[in-house]
């Protein structure tokens, strides 16, 4: 018999009556009348050309064809019920594409992403590490996080501050133990300094610390902040780290921030075509990032700096 012609209602009535061996009990189970059960089963017997029940005065028993059909139907209905439970238990997964500054993605976002997945298993996040301005209309990106040293002013998008960027020297405990000692900011110049993009970034901090601008012709240069931080963690030099991005490394003792001075270097911004009308997944992710950023700022406000 073709699937489109299978009498599902009649089969459901028969399966219930055959399993319970009672038309009235089947009617109660299916919330219909006993007459409706009797009619459905008569129509099924007519369609199949065989009797499915032996009808007695106060009871019914299954015929041999009826017993065979009942065994197959009960197994099939049980399988359908199991499949429906599995489908009901499985959440509908929404994909969210987030573009983020590579350093921000590696040092701050990815280490925390497991917490978002635990809270929202129904949202699958794809992170694209990219420092460039996003043209949303020509990409799959739903939301972006971008850094700007002054103030965000990108065309055709909305931007909202997520958290500030503040720089301070950080180094591995092993480097501090190996010496030379670091007691005052000028002592940093006795070590290898690690640089982001160019060698001028350090001068802003050294000037604010009272050392003044100095020629910095040595030390490796990296085009990504995460590379600078990983190099510092391995004891190969001192990084001018974005304290928000290395807060957990400092808290865990992987890095030491020897001086409390932090200088403003800009900030990280949430960017989207229309932040006021985000989809549900992007809105949930923004709320989560804001909460995580607030927790990071609270951690930094309470941080104790280890004297060198």
Residue written as token pair 């989560």: 288
| Tokens at 126, concatenated | 């794809």
Residue written as token pair 């590579």: 102
Contact (Cβ atoms closer than 8 angstroms) between residue 171 and residue 232: yes
- Domain 94-301 has what CATH class? alpha beta
Whether 305 shows a pLDDT value over 70: the answer reads no
Question: What residues does 167 pair with on adjacent strands?
Answer: 242, 263
Q: What is the DSSP letter of 301?
A: H
Domain 3-89: CATH architecture, name and number where available: Orthogonal Bundle (1.10)
Q: What residues does each domain of the chain span?
A: 3-89, 94-301
Residue 239 has a pLDDT of 94
CA angle 63, 61, 12 (to 5 degrees): 80
Quick: pLDDT tens for 77-122. 889 888 888 777 666 778 999 999 999 999 999 999 999 999 999 9
More confident residue, 143 or 137: 143
Q: Which of 241, 289, 264, 269 is nearest to 147 (CA)?
A: 269
Quick: pLDDT tens for 30-44. 999 999 999 999 999
Contact (Cβ atoms closer than 8 angstroms) between residue 122 and residue 81: no
CA–CA separation, 230 vs 136, rounded Å? 31
Residue 263 has a pLDDT of 92
Contact (Cβ atoms closer than 8 angstroms) between residue 210 and residue 188: no
Q: Is 179 left (phi over 0), alpha (psi -120 to 50) or beta?
A: left
CA–CA separation, 239 vs 193, rounded Å? 6
Rounded to two decimals, the pTM is: 0.68
């Amino acid at each position: 018999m073709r699937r489109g012609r299978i009498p599902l209602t009649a089969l459901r009535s028969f399966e219930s009556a055959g399993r319970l061996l009672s038309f009235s009990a089947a009617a109660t189970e299916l919330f219909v009348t006993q007459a409706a059960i009797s009619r459905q089963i008569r129509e099924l017997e007519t369609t199949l050309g065989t009797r499915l029940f032996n009808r007695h005065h106060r009871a019914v028993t299954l015929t041999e064809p009826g017993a065979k059909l009942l065994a197959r139907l009960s197994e099939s209905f049980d399988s359908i019920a199991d499949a429906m439970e599995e489908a009901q238990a499985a959440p509908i997964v929404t994909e969210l594409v987030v573009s983020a500054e590579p350093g921000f993605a590696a040092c701050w976002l990815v280490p925390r992403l497991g917490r978002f997945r635990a809270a929202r298993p129904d949202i699958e996040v794809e992170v694209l590490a990219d420092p460039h301005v996003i043209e949303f209309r020509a990409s799959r990106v739903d939301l972006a996080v971008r850094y700007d040293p002054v103030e965000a002013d990108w065309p055709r998008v909305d931007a909202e501050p997520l958290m500030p960027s503040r720089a301070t020297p950080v180094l591995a405990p092993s480097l501090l133990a190996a010496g030379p000692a670091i007691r005052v900011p000028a002592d940093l110049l006795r070590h290898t300094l690690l640089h982001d993009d160019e060698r001028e970034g350090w001068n802003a901090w050294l000037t604010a610390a009272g050392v003044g601008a100095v020629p910095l012709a040595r030390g490796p240069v990296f085009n990504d902040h995460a590379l600078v931080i990983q190099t510092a963690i391995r004891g190969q030099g001192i990084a001018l780290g974005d304290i928000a991005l290395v807060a957990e490394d400092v808290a865990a003792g992987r890095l030491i921030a020897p001086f409390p001075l932090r200088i403003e270097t800009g900030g990280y911004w949430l960017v989207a075509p229309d932040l006021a009308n985000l989809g549900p997944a992007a809105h949930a992710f923004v709320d989560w990032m804001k909460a995580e950023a607030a927790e990071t700022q609270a951690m930094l406000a309470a941080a104790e700096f280890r004297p060198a």
